[in-house]
Structure 1
Amino acid sequence: MSEGGEIGINWGRQTSHRLIPSMVVDLLLQNGIRNLKLYSPSDNVLRAFAGSNVAITVTLPNERLDHVLLPGKAAMWLQEKVRKYHNENINITVVHVGADPFSKFYQNTTYDNANDALRKIQEALAADGYENVTATISHFTDVLKPNIKKPSEADFRQDLKPKMLEFIRIINDSNAPFVLNMFPIYYVSEHKWDIEFSFIDNKSNFSIEDNGRIYRNVFEFVYDSFLFALQKVGAPNLKLMMGTIGWPTDGYPGANVKNAERFFKGFLPYIKNNKGTPLRPGASIDVFIHSLAEENLNKIYLGSFQRHWGVYRSTGEPKYKIDFTGEGRDIYPTTAKGVVLMPKRWCIFNNDTSDISKVKVEFDFACREADCTTLAPGGSCSHLNFEQNVSYAFNRYFQMKAQSTEKGNICDFKKLGMVVYDDPSVGTCIFPVEILAAEFADTNGLSRGGARAWRVCGSATMVLLPLIIVFLLDWV
C-alpha cells in the first residue's frame, strides 16, 4: 500500500452462494477500493482482476507452511501464485505467509514454522527478481501479553519473544511492514470496558491515561500498545499497519448494522486524514476493512458473529452506509450489478406440532447443514417464536440448496415444510432469498488447509447448535 492512510478490504469466500469475481472487481472499482486481500488465491478469482490495477495481497495458508520449507517449493509456489498472474497483468504486491500463525485466538494450534516459511519466501522473492512484491506475517492482538492496563505496559508474550524477535529481524531486512489484526468490539468486551471505547467518536467519559497520553478509543490503545512492544524489542520505527479491522452486524452484543455504520463513519476519515495516535501523531496508517461480504460457512470458534463481518450481504447489497474513500460522506456504497436472485419463494414450517421430537430432529438437521447463527441468543432472529424459529431454519436450508434438488422436494422435512410466496420475515429477522450459485470457489488456493478449516467449521457448528435448540424448545 502507498503512503497516505490507504483503505483496502478483505474478501473471504467461505459461503454457499458466491458473487461472481468479475462482479466483485466492478464493485471495488466503483467504490474506489484499490487494495484487496484474498485469503484464498484461487485461479478464477485472480484472473478476474487482470488489467484492473487493484493491488492484491495473497495468503499462503497456515496448513501449507510446511510445504514451502521443502527444497525449491517456495519458488514453485511463487511461480504458481504470483508470477503467473503478473504475466497476465494482475497486480499481486504482497504475500501474507500464514494467517495469524502465532495466535491462539481461534484455536490452540499455532504454527511455529511460520518464520522459516517467511524466510524461504523472501529468499525466493529476492533470488527470482520479484522487485515489487513484499512478504510478511500477520499477528492478532493476543501475541501481546494479556491484561495490559496501559499501552506503555505492552510487550510480546514471553513464550513468543524469541519468535517475534526473529520475525522482526526478517522483515527489517526486506522493509516489509508489521501487520496487526484486531476486532474492536471483541477487544473491548474482553477487557470489560465501556462499548463506547470501541468507537473513534467515543461519547462516554471513559478514557485511559498513560504518562500524559490520553486514549479515548480502543484503536489508538491497541495500535500504541504494539508500538511500545516493538520499541521493547528494538524496532521503534517499523511500519505498523492494520491487516484486519471491522465490525460484525449480528451474533454478538452490540453487533448490529447501526453500530457498524457508526464505527466506519468515524474510523475511515480518521485513517484518511492521518490523525495518527498519541504515541505516533500524524502517522499514515494503512488498513484493510474486514470484510467485503457475509460468509455463512465461516468458522465460528468464538461465536456466530464470525459469519457476519460483511459490509455486503451475499446478494451484493450493502447492509449500511459507508464511504470507502474516507471522506465521511453519508452514502451507501455501490450495489453489485448483474446479480440474479433465485425465485421469491420461501420454505417454512407448516405448524404441525403433533410430534415435537420429529420437529426437533428436522430443525437440528437444517441447522447442521445451513447457517442458523442469527437464531442464537442476542442474534437478529433471537426474538422469534417456536414456529418462526423452525421456519427460519427450514428456509436457510432451502435457500442454501438452491430451492431444489435432483432427489425431489427440498422443502419436505418429513412433511413438516411448505413453500410460500409471501415474505415471512419478522421485524429485524430477514428470511433471505439467495442468489443463483453461478460461480463456485476454486478451492485449490486453500488446498489441504481449506479442507481442514471446513471440518473444524462443522464441529464448531455442533457446539453452537445446542444453544439454539435449547432456545427453540423453550417455546414448546
Structure 2
Amino acid sequence: MVAIPNKMLDMMTDYDTAREWVHKNVSAYNFGGGVNIRYVAVGNEPFLSSLNGTFLNVTLPALQNIQKALDEAGVGDTVKATVPLNADVYQSPKDNPVPSAGRFRPEISGLMTEIVQFLNQSGAPFTVNIYPGLFRKLASNAGTPLRPNQYIEIYLFSLIDEDVKSVDPGYFERHWGVMRYDGQPKYAMDPTGQGRNTALVGARGVEYLPRVWCVLNANAGNMSRLADNVGYACSNADCTSLSLGSTCNGMDPAGNASYAFNAYFQVQDQDEQACGFDGLAVRTRQDPSTGTCNFTIQLETTSAAAGRPTVLLTTALLALVLAAMVTML
C-alpha cells in the first residue's frame, strides 16, 4: 500500500496531477521483480472529527481520479484506490455498541454512501483503522459476525516510525511503527496470533553515521539564549519524544536541551556547524542515552548530500519543551 498524504488531496482533484502521481509512484515500480503494490491509500483518516471537515470536498474527487489513473495505466485490475478511515466515521447506539449496529455520522452520511458505492463499483475494499487484538482474531479464522467464513485482509500501520509526519492529531502520530526509525524492533509481538512473546527480526546491514552526539555544553557561561536555541532545534527536528508520557519525558532541563540539540544535529547529517547553538552545544563521543531515552544516530543514506526535509513542531509541544528550560535561565 502506497499513500497520498491528506495535504495532497486537493492536488489530486486535478486529473493530470493524479495521473502523474500514479506514473511516478505506482507505474514506475510495476515490473517483474519490482514492488507488489496492491492499494493506493488516498489520504489517511481525512474525515477525522478533529480535522473539522478540512478534506470533505476533496477526498472523493481525489479517490475517483486516482482510480481512473490506475485504470488508464493498465494496473487498475490489480491496484485499487481506497481511503483508510478512522472508526469515528460511524456511530453505534449506546445500547448496542458494536460496529454492525452503527451508522455513518449524520454530517458525512451522504458522502460516505457515495464513497462506499464507488469502492464497490471499482472492486476496492472499505478500509478502516481499528485497534483490536488483531493477530489472535486472524489466527482464529472466524471472520466477522456478518461474514463468519470470509478472510479478513489487514495491513499493519506502520512498519517504522515517521519523524516528519504531521502531529495535528497528536504527538503519537510519529511513533506508530512496530520498528524504530532504523528498523530495529521496539517490543515483542507475535504475528502468528499464538500468544508467544516473540521478538521481531530487525533490519540487517543498517549503516549509521559515526557515533557522535551533540549535547548541551555544561561549561557554557551564558545561558540566556538557551530557550531560543532549543526552540530552533525543535522547530527543525523531531522532539516529540520529549512530550508528556513519551520515552524521553522526565529528563532534567539539561537532558531536554541535549536531546533537542542532538535531534537537530543528526537531521543535519552531523554537520559540524549544526552543533553550535551560540556556543551552548558541544559534540561528544559519549552516548547520552538513558535507560528509556535513546539519543539517535542518523542513518548513513544518500540524503546526506542532498539535505533533509524540515520538520515543524507544533506550538503546544514547543511550549512544553521550552517550559522545561526555564529553571536553567
**Which category describes the TM-score, using the shorter chain as reference length?**
0.7 to 0.9
Among 145, 148, 172, the alignment partner of 2:120 is 172
1:313 aligns with 2:257: no
Q: Please list, as runs of the form range in 1=range in 2, the aligned pairs for 1:100-249 lying within 5 A after superposition.
A: 100-106=45-51, 108-123=53-68, 129=74, 130-145=76-91, 150-151=97-98, 154-182=102-130, 184=131, 219=132
Cα distance, 1:389 vs. partner?
1.5
Which deviations, in whole Å up to 9, do the C-alpha atoms of 1:202-236 show, x marking residues without a partner?
A: xxxxxxxxxxxxxxxxx3xxxxxxxxxxxxxxxxx
Structure 1 residues not aligned, in runs of 5+: 1-36, 42-58, 185-218, 220-265, 443-453
Distance 2:24 2:277 in 1: 45
Q: 1:363 to 1:327 in 2, by over 3 A?
A: same
Quickly say closer, same or farther: Cα 1:155–1:412, change in 2 above 3 A.
Answer: same
- Asked if residue 429 in structure 1 is aligned to residue 296 in structure 2, the reply is no
Kindly, what percent of the aligned residue pairs are identical? 33
8 Å contact from structure 1 (residues 62, 101) kept in 2: no
Q: 1:64 corresponds to which residue?
A: 11
Name the CA distance, whole Å, in 2 between partners of 1:424 and 1:83: 45
Paired with 2:284 and 2:70, the residues of 1 have a C-alpha distance of 57
Deviation at 1:329, TM superposition (A): 4.0
3-state DSSP of counterpart to 2:127: strand
Amino acid across the alignment from 1:62:
L
The 2-side partners of 1:392 and 1:404 are apart by 16
Contact 2:92–2:103 (CA under 8 A) maintained in structure 1: no
Aligned residues: CA RMSD: 3.2
1:377-414: CA deviations, max 9, x gaps? 22211111121121111111121112115xxx332221
Structure 2 residue aligned with 1:470: 323
The answer to whether the 8 A contact 2:40-2:81 is kept is yes
Mapped contact 2:11–2:18 kept (Cα < 8 A): no
Q: Counterpart of 1:415 in structure 2: which amino acid? A: G
Q: Deviations over 1:443-466 (max 9, x none)?
A: xxxxxxxxxxx88x62x5233200
3-state DSSP of counterpart to 1:419: strand
Q: Distance in 2 between matches of 1:399 and 1:328?
A: 38
Q: What is the TM-score with the length of structure 2 in the denominator?
A: 0.83
Q: Is the 8 A contact 1:368 1:462 kept in 2?
A: no
Partner of 2:30: 86
Tell me which amino acid in the other structure corresponds to 1:301: D
Q: For residue 10 of structure 2, give the secondary structure of its aligned residue in structure 1.
A: helix
Q: Does 1:38 align with 2:8?
A: no
Q: Which whole-Å deviations, capped at 9, do the CAs of 1:99-150 have from their partners, x for residues lacking one?
A: 3333344464114243334344445555665433333322222322488561
Identify if the C-alpha distance between structure 1 residues 290 and 106 changes in structure 2 by more than 3 Å, giving closer, same or farther.
farther
Q: Structure 2 CA distance, aligned partners of 1:124 and 1:425? A: 48
Q: Secondary structure at the match of 2:38?
A: strand
What is the CA distance between 1:97 and its match in structure 2?
A: 3.2
CA distance in 2, matches of 1:381, 1:128: 47
- State the partner residue of 1:347: 214
* CA distance in 2 between partners of 1:410 and 1:77 (Å): 34
SS of the aligned residue for 2:118 comes to helix
User: For the structure 1 residues 78 and 315, does the alpha-carbon distance in structure 2 shift closer, same or farther, using more than 3 Å as the test?
Assistant: closer
For 2:279, what is the secondary structure of its paired residue? Answer: coil
Q: CA deviation at 1:421?
A: 1.6
Query: SS in structure 2 opposite 1:418?
Result: strand
**What is the DSSP-based 3-state SS (H/G/I as helix, E as strand, rest coil) of the residue aligned with 1:163?**
helix
Q: 1:40 Cα shift?
A: 5.6
Q: Following the alignment from structure 1 to structure 2, what is the Cα–Cα distance between the partners of residues 65 and 104? A: 22
Aligned to 1:356, the other structure's residue is in SS state: coil
Q: Report the number of matched residues.
A: 322
1:331 is the counterpart of 2:198: yes
Distance in 2 (CA, whole Å) between partners of 1:294 and 1:65 is 26
**What amino acid sits opposite 1:272 in the alignment?**
A
One-letter code aligned to 2:13: D
2:215 is matched by which residue type in structure 1? I
Q: CA deviation at 1:81?
A: 4.2
Structure 2 unpaired stretches of 5+: none
User: Relative contact order (C-alpha < 8 Å, sep 6+): which is higher?
Assistant: 1
Amino acid in structure 2 at the alignment position of 1:134: K
Given the alignment of the two structures, is residue 382 of structure 1 paired with residue 328 of structure 2, yes or no? no
CA distance in 1, matches of 2:19, 2:296: 45
1:303-336 alpha-carbon deviations (Å, 9 max, x no partner): 2211111111222211112334545443322221
Q: 1:77: how far off? A: 5.2
Contact in 1 for aligned 2:253/2:324 (Cα 8 Å):
no
Question: Which residue type is aligned with residue 135 of structure 1?
Answer: A
Residue 278 of structure 2 is aligned to residue 411 of structure 1:
no
Q: Which amino acid aligns with 2:277?
A: F
The farther-off stretch of 381-390 and 136-145 is 136-145
Structure 1 pair 387/117, CA: closer, same or farther in 2 (3 Å)? Answer: closer
C-alpha deviation, 1:354, in angstroms: 4.5
CA distance in 1, matches of 2:148, 2:197: 27
Residues 1:75 and 1:348: Cα distance change in structure 2 (over 3 Å) = closer
Once the two structures are TM-superposed, the CA of residue 355 in structure 1 deviates from its matched residue by 3.3
Instruction: State the secondary structure of the residue aligned to 2:266.
Output: helix
The question of whether the paired residues in 1 share the 8 Å contact of 2:10 and 2:58 is answered with no
Alignment-mate amino acid for residue 9 of structure 2: N
